[in-house]
Amino acid sequence: MALLEVTGITVRFGGITAVNDASLSAEPGSITGLIGPNGAGKTTLFNVITGLQAPTSGRVRFKNADITGAPVDKRAKMGMGRTFQRLEAFGSLTVRENVQVAREIHAGPRSWFSRRSDKRVDELIDLVDLGRYAGQRADSVPTGVARLLEIARALAIEPALLLLDEPSSGLDEAETDAFGRLLQDLAGRGTAILMVEHDMDLVMGVCDFIHVLEFGRVIARGTPAEIRADRAVQAAYLGFSDEPAALSVPDEVAAEATAILGGHAAAETTLSMPAVEVESR
C-alpha cells in the first residue's frame, strides 16, 4: 500500500465532469508529477486529496486510513502539507513570522512556551535558502521568494506528503533549477512529493513518476521517458487530426508539448501519426 492511494475519483460540477475516475499514488522518497493541459482537472484532484473538495465518488487513502471524508485540518495533522496555485502567505507578517505561525498552528496551543525557541523555524528558512529575506514582509518579496516561503510553511507541519500546485510559476530559470534541487533534497530525506506543474523541464528533470490528466481522466502514467514516448500524451498536448492543424495550438501549449516530447523529432512524429492510432487508456 502506497503512502497516498487515490482510487476512482470523480468530481462533477453540475454538468461538468472535472475529474473522471482518476487514480494515482505517491510514495515516500519519490517525486510524482501530475500534468495535463489547462482545465484537465489537476487542481480539482488536488483539492480532493487535501480535503477542500468532496469527490462525487472514489476513495482517498493516506497512511493506510480512508480519509475521503476527513476535514482539511485532520489531513494536515496526519502529515499532508500543501501549497496553492495562487500564493496564500500572510502579507502583513514577515517571512519568518509566516513560518512561525505555521509551526504554532501545527504544534497546538499548549506549546506556547516554546515559541521563541523553535529552532525548526530557522532551519526551515535555511532549508529553502531565505535567510536574507526572513525579516521582510511577505507582501514585499519577489514571487520566487514567496513560492519558497510557501514551501517552508508547508514543511512546517513536517509533512510525510508534500502537495505542490504549480510551484515554479513565477520563478526564473535559475530559481527553478534551485527549486528542483530542493525537491530532490526533500525527497532524499524521505518526503513523498506530488506536484502539479506546467514547467516540463522541471517535471521531466525531477519526477520519478508522472500521471497525465486530460479532460479529468488519467490518460497515461509512467517514468518521464515513458511519458515522452506516449502517443496519448502527445495527442493531448498537440491536438490531433489528419490535418496538421495541431500547429495552430497556442504558443505556450506548443512549448509545453515540445518540452515533453523532447524537441522537433518527436513533434514531427506526432504530426505524422493518424488520429485513429491514438487510444485513451
The residues binding ligand ATP (CB under 6 A) are: 13, 16, 18, 36, 38-44, 85
Q: How far is the CB of 137 from ligand ATP (least distance, A)?
A: 28
Name the residue with cell 460540477: 13
The one of ligand ATP, Mg ion, none whose footprint includes residue 36, by CB under 5 to 8 A per kind, is ligand ATP
Which residue type, as a one-letter code, is found at position 122?
Answer: D
H-helix or E-strand spanning residue 257: helix 251-261
Any contact of residue 10 with Mg ion (CB under 5 A)?
no
* Distance of alpha carbon 76 from alpha carbon 124, whole angstroms: 18
Question: Are residues 233 and 223 in contact, defined by beta-carbon separation less than 8 angstroms?
Answer: no
Q: How far is the CB of 115 from Mg ion (least distance, A)?
A: 35
Q: Nearest-CB residue to Mg ion?
A: 43
* Distance of alpha carbon 269 from alpha carbon 281, whole angstroms: 20
Q: Which is nearer to Mg ion, 84 or 133 (CB)?
A: 84
Q: Which is nearer to ligand ATP, 53 or 94 (CB)?
A: 53
Shortest CA distance to 216 belongs to which of 58, 49, 16?
Answer: 16
Any contact of residue 94 with Mg ion (CB under 5 A)?
no
* Distance of alpha carbon 150 from alpha carbon 88, whole angstroms: 8
Any contact of residue 43 with Mg ion (CB under 5 A)?
yes
Q: How far is the CB of 201 from Mg ion (least distance, A)?
A: 19
The one of Mg ion, ligand ATP, none whose footprint includes residue 40, by CB under 5 to 8 A per kind, is ligand ATP
* Distance of alpha carbon 62 from alpha carbon 58, whole angstroms: 14
**Chain contacts with Mg ion (rule: CB under 5 A):** 42-43
